[in-house]
């Protein structure tokens, strides 16, 4: 069942989203060559807790980190590790959640380490653009399929592939709620969108094919053809005055 949010709940989600977005800004400022993914995770956790919030991912279904940190052909759910070291030219996906005032924020960005390839830059840009195309379709009276179709169109017109095995989701008191939000689909199909809905819209985009697989650690997801992947996510709430992107702290990022 889709849980619609009232004005007071949306206010709490805005606060949780702000902390989430700020934690990602801290991550962007911290990422550097030679840093381990575990060190970055510790920095993110410290910031979230300093704000009086809790990392949404820590312990979630047994996940051992406060953030998912994935590098290059790793798509999502990378486990922070002292052995995983950032190198010049890496494309780092950082996925963060914060639980505050009883609600979650969920957001992800793709961060370059130093100078990256032109292909990596374009992949990151197209992934971001596809998210905002999805937000444009998040309007009262539209349907879930309109969001996915808008994202898929931008991605495929850019020459890339949408990951189909993993998708966005509703969000609120629980980190993952109904409805499912695919990054692909047919316009005019699926659940109808209405005021009070809160979604985590999160295109995951590959340079090569859409096929992915999960490592034996039970979490890390990689592209099957070893090509680069990018991830861009925000928590978005549909209000009577339009959409509010709760986790978008830096509007240019």
Q: What is the pairing mode between strands 103-112 and 229-231?
A: unpaired
pLDDT given at position 250: 97
Q: What is the pLDDT of residue 13?
A: 98
The reported pLDDT for the residue numbered 217 is: 97
Q: Assign a CATH topology to domain 7-245.
A: Creatine Amidinohydrolase (3.90.230)
Q: b/e for 213-240, b at 16 or more Cβ within 10 A? A: eeeeeebbbbbeeebbbbbbbbbbbbee
- The number of C-alpha atoms within 13 Å of 224 and in the hemisphere containing its C-beta is 8
pLDDT of amino acid 86: 98
Q: What is the reported pLDDT for 233?
A: 99
User: 């805005």: which residue's tokens?
Assistant: 14
At residue 61, the pLDDT reads: 97
pLDDT digits (tens, 9 = 90+) for 101-137: 999 999 999 999 999 999 999 999 999 999 999 999 9
Listed in order, strand segments (DSSP E) in 72-122 are 74-76, 91-100, 103-112
Q: Give the 3-state DSSP-derived string for 27-85, with helices as H, strands as E and coil as C.
A: HHHHCCCCCEHHHHHHHHHHHHHHCCCEECCCCHHHCCCCEEEEECCEEECCCCCCCCE
Cβ proximity of 51 and 98 under 8 Å: yes
Which has the closest alpha carbon to 104: 14, 25, 166?
A: 14
Average pLDDT over residues 181-198: 98
Residues in the chain: 253
| Confidence at residue 202, expressed as pLDDT on a 0 to 100 scale | 98
How far, in Å, are 8, 39, 211, 235, 251 from residue 66 at the CA level?
27, 11, 27, 18, 24
Q: Tell me the per-residue pLDDT of 18-63, one tens digit each, with 9 for 90 and over.
A: 999 999 999 999 999 999 999 999 999 999 999 999 999 999 999 9
Q: What pLDDT, on a 0 to 100 scale, did the predictor assign at position 107?
A: 98
Span 163-171, average pLDDT:
98
Query: Quick one: pLDDT at residue 64?
Result: 98
Which pLDDT score is estimated for 57? 98
DSSP lists the bridge partners of residue 181 as 168
- Model confidence at 169, pLDDT cuts 50, 70, 90, reads very high
């Amino acid at each position: 069942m889709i849980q619609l949010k009232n004005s007071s709940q949306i206010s709490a989600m805005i606060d949780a989203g702000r902390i989430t977005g700020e934690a990602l800004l801290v991550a962007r400022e911290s990422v550097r060559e030679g840093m381990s993914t575990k060190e970055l995770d510790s920095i993110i956790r410290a910031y979230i807790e300093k704000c009086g919030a809790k990392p949404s991912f820590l312990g979630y279904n047994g996940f051992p980190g406060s953030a998912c940190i994935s590098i290059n052909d790793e798509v999502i759910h990378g486990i922070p590790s002292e052995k995983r070291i950032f190198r010049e030219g890496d494309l780092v996906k950082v996925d963060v959640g914060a639980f505050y005032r009883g609600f979650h924020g969920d957001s992800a960005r793709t961060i370059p380490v130093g100078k990256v390839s032109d292909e990596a830059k374009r992949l990151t840009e197209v992934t971001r653009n596809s998210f905002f195309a999805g937000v444009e379709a998040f309007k009262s009276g539209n349907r879930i399929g309109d969001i996915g179709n808008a994202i898929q169109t931008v991605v495929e017109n850019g020459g890339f592939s949408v990951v189909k095995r993993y998708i966005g989701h509703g969000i609120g008191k629980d980190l993952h709620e109904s409805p499912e939000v695919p990054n692909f689909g047919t316009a005019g199909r699926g659940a109808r969108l209405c005021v009070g809905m809160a979604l985590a819209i999160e295109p995951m985009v590959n340079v090569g094919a859409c096929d992915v697989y999960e490592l034996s650690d039970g979490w890390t997801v990689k592209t099957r053809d070893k090509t680069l992947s990018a991830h861009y996510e925000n928590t978005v709430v549909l209000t009577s005055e339009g959409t509010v992107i709760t986790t978008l702290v830096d509007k240019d990022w």
